[in-house]
């Protein structure tokens, strides 16, 4: 950290030198007259050609890409780096918003059809929420995983803008007994999802904005259902239809891919277990990285809960023997990534880094062993299954050779 | 708003129909096997080809572009749409971050040179702050202006990540009498700015992150000085040098372009008046738009203060005779764009829309007449000068022909 003057000579060769301030002022006048190109002052700007940060392509069960959490900063995920999971190996639908419609029908007094422009004229809200795939950080993703992008990269956080679904439903007039809804997307596979009226009337949104502009095609352009805190697949993209019904529809994807088999339930599975648990992961230092050497580090990462607001993140550097409270970035948003930070001096010896988050309704992120107990099984089970809603404390092992490795199952 | 069934037949022609849910589930299985292209699952995503939102190019005194506020949503400005003001008609410097250095020197015990990587290893902070050009909304910009992008588009808001400048200065050890600093950029013109040590030690940042990724070249990649709430020109881009000095340096740009002539001061001007005032503007409906017709509208816009946190925004639809409190989007960040919203039923007659913001230290956005009084002049003066820090209440006139016009000077 204390780099002092070692690079000073090189810097001075490149730069203006210590007495350069007066010179600079004179040169600025010249610069104004000699450089006259505006061709690259782009209407829609681009990043530096030196920046290579990218989503990682994975395809365990379709096409998907993961957010590079190891280089994440703050709480906002750039829309260009938002994770994508789709069960179909296709491009996102190429929807002309002028042609797109959202229909609300079923057990309602007044079936409604909205254009995107009509939706945008309604009272709007913007909220910062994470989206996480139900399968994020599942052991099946870790077979060849080394980095936090590969283990945990199916979570991202955006400022979403749209209308409250409750407003649309009040307009339509929900009939007695209309206790569930089925949402349908305009993708080739017509992804559908059943969800209860209580969520629709609580905090569900129909969003058209992401981080200050239109949502991206791979996030559901021009309209997406947002069920804050609920597993990604429930947040129907390219939303074109919401039907009010009396019970869940049990569509194909709901009864096969997105149930939660629990050994303790003896062959049964959890259905309609939507809300993601309390979770956290250290993004730096993290798996696959090599530390430059002993010295100062800021341990930083993200915590989130699908059920509330993060209240506390504790960090251990000794595998869980001792814990320290990390600093949380203010203001903390409900159901949003929450950035945590803790200064750490690494002495060069083996260390085990853990983070443990707690939300405002008292959920505490479990260890792998505790999670197995809750599921009525042993940790080994997780390696043979594809558990969803998998939220154990993530251990990163810092080796004396300065490498950092995933140590969840070791 | 109550569109009901009028488009229903068209929708049904395009879509799956009311009984389509079961069909959808079956089709989804086919989709999975027949669509196998992943070529467009881009590592760094792009927006829809239907989205044309763009910065507007203006060049009153160099090269500049303005944020399309009329379509802004929430509080985050997409980095691709962040305003740019530069006094030089050139491209942003094409800086390789591996070669870039930041030097801190002058009246310090230990001159320091940091690489970008070294800066990133230090304790970091992320904060949501607006940046506004000192000349934003100045009458000189309005000569051919119609839209809020053209009148007010030199303000944007990002989540910035970096290190506290106070940390770097503590490392360097500021000597007695080192009461000012001069920051210098690596651009061709070597833009410089003097600023007092009190700001450096309060909330100044050296930032490398913007909205979750590296700051953009046109915002100072790879390092920028951020002086929250202070006029844009003080936030030196492509930051390469900070010199601790005993008094302001009065470099060329400081003594010519960025002073505040005040008629009431009889030929004198304000120097080092950096903090932007309390301000707001209705972004929708706004100048240049045409309303579809009488009916429901959400009046929405942005408020901000360079000196604190927005506490209140009032809206008038009758030219200031009556006012209503707008709803503010939570949580409200200090020195950040704050989104406000108010439902409005337009009866089709002439209306004058105003917004008035108040911050937490009691600053109230003035009318044009009040601002003129403060400056010791009359409103007409503003049309002949290029006033900076110009923050009067912005009136938008809604005409009976449904057009909306800038009515500041009418």
pLDDT tens-digit profile of B375-398?
888 998 888 877 889 999 999 999
pLDDT of residue B337: 98
pLDDT of residue A267: 63
pLDDT of residue B23: 24
Q: How many CA atoms lie within 13 A of A354 on its CB side?
A: 22
Instruction: Please determine, for residue B309, whether its predicted confidence score (pLDDT) is greater than 60.
Output: yes
Instruction: Please determine, for residue B175, whether its predicted confidence score (pLDDT) is greater than 50.
Output: yes
Taking every pair of Cα atoms in chain B, the longest distance, rounded to a whole number of angstroms, is: 80
Residue from the list B75, B159, B341 with its beta carbon closest to the beta carbon of A124: B341
pLDDT of residue A106: 98
Residue from the list A1, A118, A217 with its beta carbon closest to the beta carbon of B48: A217
Q: Under DSSP, is residue A312 helix (H, G, I), strand (E, B) or coil?
A: strand
Q: How far apart are CA A351 and CA A346, in angstroms?
A: 8
pLDDT of residue A199: 97
| B410 and A CB contact within 8 Å | no
pLDDT of residue A7: 38
**Which residues does chain B have within 8 Å of residue A80's beta carbon, measured at their own beta carbons?**
44-46, 213
**Which residues does chain A have within 8 Å of residue B92's beta carbon, measured at their own beta carbons?**
40
Of the candidates A3, A269, A216, A236, the one whose C-alpha atom is nearest the C-alpha of residue A97 is A216
Q: Which of A45, A163, A289 to mutate to test the interface with B (most CBs of B within 10 A)?
A: A45
**Average pLDDT rounded to a whole number, residues B184-213:** 94
Q: What is each CA distance from B102 to A41, A152, A178, B114, B155, in whole angstroms?
A: 26, 34, 62, 5, 27
Contact call for B11 and A217, based on CB within 8 A? no
**Greater model confidence, A384 or A43:** A43
pLDDT of residue B18: 27
**Contact between A397 and A404 (Cβ < 8 Å):** yes
Tokens for B251? 């470099």
Residue from the list A50, A87, A240 with its beta carbon closest to the beta carbon of B32: A87
Residue from the list A27, A37, A192 with its beta carbon closest to the beta carbon of B24: A192
**Contact between A58 and A150 (Cβ < 8 Å):** yes
pLDDT of residue A190: 82
Give B174's strand partners. B108
Residue from the list A77, A122, A188 with its beta carbon closest to the beta carbon of B212: A77
Enumerate residues 6+ apart whose C-beta is below 8 A from A56. A65, A66, A68, A147, A149, A150, A153, B43
| Range in A315-319, B32-36, B231-235, B243-247 with the lowest mean pLDDT | B32-36
pLDDT of residue A16: 29
**Which residues does chain B have within 8 Å of residue A122's beta carbon, measured at their own beta carbons?**
1, 296, 298
**Which residues does chain A have within 8 Å of residue B300's beta carbon, measured at their own beta carbons?**
124
pLDDT band at A203 (very low <50, low <70, confident <90, very high): very high
| A170 and B CB contact within 8 Å | no
Residue from the list B41, B126, B171 with its beta carbon closest to the beta carbon of A63: B41
**Which residues does chain A have within 8 Å of residue B21's beta carbon, measured at their own beta carbons?**
182, 184, 192, 243, 249, 251
Any idea how long chain A is?
410
In A163-220, alpha helices (H): 165-172, 197-202
| A209 and B CB contact within 8 Å | yes
**Which residues between 101 and 130 in chain A have a beta carbon less than 8 angstroms from any beta carbon of chain B?**
101, 103, 105, 110-115, 118, 121-126
Total CB pairs under 8 A between chain A and B:
396
Q: How far apart are CA B242 and CA B274, in angstroms?
A: 18
| Range in B19-33, B165-179, B210-224, B275-289 with the lowest mean pLDDT | B19-33
Contact call for B113 and A4, based on CB within 8 A? yes
Q: Model confidence over B317-327: pLDDT tens digits?
A: 999 999 999 99
pLDDT band at B61 (very low <50, low <70, confident <90, very high): low
**Which residues between 216 and 275 in chain B have a beta carbon less than 8 angstroms from any beta carbon of chain A?**
216-218, 221-222, 240-241, 243, 249, 251-253
- DSSP secondary structure string for all residues of B71-131: G--SSPPPGGG--EEESSSSPPP---TTT-EEEEEESBSS-EEEEHHHHHHS--EEEEEEE
| B18 and A CB contact within 8 Å | yes
**Which residues between 68 and 107 in chain A have a beta carbon less than 8 angstroms from any beta carbon of chain B?**
71-82, 84, 87-92, 94-99, 101, 103, 105
Instruction: Please determine, for residue A60, whether its predicted confidence score (pLDDT) is greater than 70.
Output: no
**Which residues between 345 and 404 in chain B have a beta carbon less than 8 angstroms from any beta carbon of chain A?**
none
Residue A401 backbone dihedrals phi, psi, to 5 degrees:
-85, 10
The radius of gyration of chain A from alpha carbons, rounded to an integer in Å, stands at: 24
| B144 and A CB contact within 8 Å | no
Q: What is each CA distance from B51 to A104, A240, B47, B71, B296, in whole angstroms?
A: 26, 19, 7, 11, 25
pLDDT of residue B90: 61
**Which residues between 172 and 191 in chain A have a beta carbon less than 8 angstroms from any beta carbon of chain B?**
182, 184, 186-191
- Residue B349 burial (10 A CB sphere; 0-12, 13-18, 19+): exposed
pLDDT of residue B267: 63
Q: From B31, which residue of chain A is nearest by alpha-carbon distance?
A: A189
pLDDT of residue A252: 67
**Average pLDDT rounded to a whole number, residues A299-316:** 98
**Which residues does chain B have within 8 Å of residue A27's beta carbon, measured at their own beta carbons?**
188-190
Instruction: Please determine, for residue A32, whether its predicted confidence score (pLDDT) is greater than 70.
Output: no
**Contact between A132 and A306 (Cβ < 8 Å):** yes
Enumerate residues 6+ apart whose C-beta is below 8 A from B374. B366
pLDDT of residue A273: 73
**Contact between A302 and A75 (Cβ < 8 Å):** yes
Neighbours of A15 (CB within 10 A): 16
**What distance in Å separates residue A380's CA from the closest CA in chain B?**
31
**What distance in Å separates residue B310's CA from the closest CA in chain A?**
15
Contact call for A78 and B212, based on CB within 8 A? yes
pLDDT of residue A257: 60
Contact call for B190 and A101, based on CB within 8 A? no
Contact call for A126 and B252, based on CB within 8 A? no
Residue from the list A186, A188, A217 with its beta carbon closest to the beta carbon of B31: A188
Contact call for A43 and B54, based on CB within 8 A? yes
Predicted interface score ipTM higher than 0.85: yes
Q: From A10, which residue of chain B is nearest by alpha-carbon distance?
A: B101
pTM: 0.89
pLDDT band at B279 (very low <50, low <70, confident <90, very high): very high
Instruction: Please determine, for residue A12, whether its predicted confidence score (pLDDT) is greater than 90.
Output: no
**Greater model confidence, B329 or B254:** B329
Element (H, E) at B278: strand B278-284
**What distance in Å separates residue B239's CA from the closest CA in chain A?**
12
**Average pLDDT rounded to a whole number, residues A322-341:** 98
**Which residues does chain A have within 8 Å of residue B254's beta carbon, measured at their own beta carbons?**
none
Residue from the list B25, B78, B253 with its beta carbon closest to the beta carbon of A28: B253
Mean of all residue pLDDT scores within chain B: 86
**What distance in Å separates residue A331's CA from the closest CA in chain B?**
7
The rounded percent of chain A whose pLDDT value lies above 90 is: 71
**Average pLDDT rounded to a whole number, residues A241-258:** 79
**Contact between B276 and B230 (Cβ < 8 Å):** yes
Contact call for A44 and B53, based on CB within 8 A? yes
pLDDT of residue B122: 96
| Range in A261-275, B210-224, B251-265, B356-370 with the lowest mean pLDDT | B251-265
**Greater model confidence, A62 or B139:** B139
Q: Model confidence over A347-400: pLDDT tens digits?
A: 999 999 999 999 999 999 999 999 999 988 899 888 887 788 999 999 999 999
Cis peptide bond upstream of A285, omega within 30 = yes
pLDDT of residue B89: 60
Of the candidates B178, B196, B195, B336, the one whose C-alpha atom is nearest the C-alpha of residue B258 is B195
Residue from the list B87, B126, B182 with its beta carbon closest to the beta carbon of A339: B126
Element (H, E) at B42: none
């Amino acid at each position: 950290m204390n780099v002092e003057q070692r690079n000073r000579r090189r810097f001075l060769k490149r730069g203006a030198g210590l007495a350069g301030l007066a010179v600079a002022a004179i040169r600025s006048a010249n610069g104004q007259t000699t450089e006259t190109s505006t061709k690259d002052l782009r209407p829609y700007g681009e990043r530096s050609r030196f920046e290579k940060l990218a989503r990682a392509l994975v395809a365990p069960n379709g096409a998907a890409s993961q957010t590079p959490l190891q280089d994440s900063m703050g709480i906002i995920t750039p829309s260009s780096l938002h994770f994508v999971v789709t069960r179909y190996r296709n491009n996102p639908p190429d929807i002309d918003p002028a042609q797109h419609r959202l229909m609300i029908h079923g057990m309602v007094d007044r079936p409604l059809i909205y254009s995107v422009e009509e939706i945008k004229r309604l009272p709007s809200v913007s909220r910062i929420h994470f989206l996480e795939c139900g399968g994020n950080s599942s052991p099946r993703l870790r077979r060849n995983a080394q980095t936090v992008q590969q283990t945990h990269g199916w979570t991202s956080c955006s400022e979403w803008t749209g209308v409250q679904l409750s407003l649309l439903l009040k307009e339509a007039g929900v009939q007695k007994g209309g206790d569930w809804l089925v949402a349908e997307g305009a993708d080739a596979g017509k992804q559908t999802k059943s969800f209860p009226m209580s969520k629709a009337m609580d905090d569900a949104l129909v969003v058209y904005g992401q981080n200050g502009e239109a949502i991206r095609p791979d996030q559901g352009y021009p309209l997406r259902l947002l069920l804050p805190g609920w597993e990604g697949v429930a947040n129907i993209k390219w939303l074109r239809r919401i039907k009010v019904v009396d019970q869940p529809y049990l569509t194909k994807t709901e009864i096969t891919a997105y149930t939660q088999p629990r050994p303790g339930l003896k062959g049964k599975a959890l259905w309609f277990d939507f809300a993601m648990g309390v979770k956290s992961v250290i993004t730096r230092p993290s798996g696959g990285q090599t530390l430059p050497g002993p010295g100062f580090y800021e341990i930083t990462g993200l915590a989130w809960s699908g059920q509330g607001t993060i209240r506390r993140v504790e960090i251990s550097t000794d595998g869980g023997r001792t814990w320290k409270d990390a600093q949380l970035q203010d203001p903390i948003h409900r159901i949003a990534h929450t950035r945590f930070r803790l200064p750490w001096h690494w002495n060069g010896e083996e260390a085990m880094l853990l983070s443990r988050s707690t939300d405002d309704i008292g959920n505490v992120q479990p260890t792998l062993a505790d999670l197995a107990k809750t599921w009525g099984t042993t940790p080994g089970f997780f390696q043979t299954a594809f558990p969803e809603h998998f939220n154990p404390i993530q251990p990163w092992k810092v080796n004396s050779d300065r490498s950092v490795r995933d140590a969840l199952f070791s």
